[in-house]
Amino acid sequence: MRMPDLERVRALMERVAAEEMLPRFRRLDAADVRQKTGPGDLVTVVDEICEARLSEGLQALLPGSVVVGEEAADADASRVDLLQSDDPVWVIDPVDGTYNYASGVDRFSSIVALCYRGETVAGLVHDPINGETGMAARGEGAWIGSTRLSVAVAAGGLETLSGAFSLPPRSAALRPFAENLRSRLDRHHWLGSAGLDYLWLASGRAQVGVGGTHGRLKPWDHAAGNLMHREAGGYAAMSTGTDYSPLLLSGVLITAPDRQSWDEVRRLMAQYGH
């Protein structure tokens, strides 16, 4: 597979956010927002517009590639099966943190991953509010601009670490574990956007993340960020100990600065029978 120019991908993401996302922020009408599965699961016209523009632009940058976008996959779940094909696959979350965006909270991002034969080979996360774009390519490190990203070194046990992850719904079986983990950490940042979580984890602003506690592991939430975190020197694996793959659609993904910290989070999870 020919690797596309990631600077052109970054420029596309930033242009779409500047032209479509930011001008409509805090200016949506009621008709511009609708529920998908419930009150906390929203889609806006901005999600749809940005996904369409990103899809067109990304496929132009890499002819022969296909797209798995969050909104298209919600409409047709079989699109996720494209990740198992031999084609390069762009995985897009056009507005990650849609609930925040629709509520006027300035914590949201856009996420793009490039996957090939079941592996993530590139990932980008754009934070339109702060003007940051994290980029990573497999084996080449992770960057924001000219700054190479590096995870924060763990100074001790969980009580010395900070976290960035969302809690599952109150009915979720994993909520007691997630709440205990949050209380054990020195600090917890509830950003409401997986993309921002991974930017913080990969740049050392937070150290511990847990994904999939809601029951689903969505590739558009985790493929890009997991690669970025790994290229920044971090350690992450599924709770089973296996490596993360964008083909995995369920399970719990634990992200930590090193294996020792990961083991400590996993031992806490085991106390709840998971």
Average pLDDT over the chain, rounded to an integer = 96
Q: Highest-confidence range of 38-42, 76-80, 169-173, 197-201, by mean pLDDT?
A: 197-201
Correct CATH for 158-270 of 2.60.40.1180, 3.40.190.80, 3.90.1150.10, 3.40.718.10: 3.40.190.80
Q: What are the boundaries of each domain within the chain?
A: 6-148, 158-270
Tell me, what's the pLDDT at 171?
85
Tell me, what's the pLDDT at 37?
77
Tell me, what's the pLDDT at 33?
94
Tell me the Cα Rg of the chain: 18
Give me the mean pLDDT over the 89-101 stretch.
97
Tell me, what's the pLDDT at 41?
82
Predicted structure pTM score: 0.96
Give me the mean pLDDT over the 174-203 stretch.
97
Tell me, what's the pLDDT at 40?
77
> What's the CATH superfamily of 6-148?
Fructose-1,6-Bisphosphatase, subunit A, domain 1 (3.30.540.10)
Residues 6+ apart with CB under 8 A from 252: 174, 210, 211, 212, 213, 217, 238, 239, 269, 274
- Return the bridge partners of 42, or none: 35
Of 120, 127, 121, 123, give the one whose Cα is nearest residue 112: 123
Q: Distance between CA 85 and CA 89 in Å, rounded?
A: 8
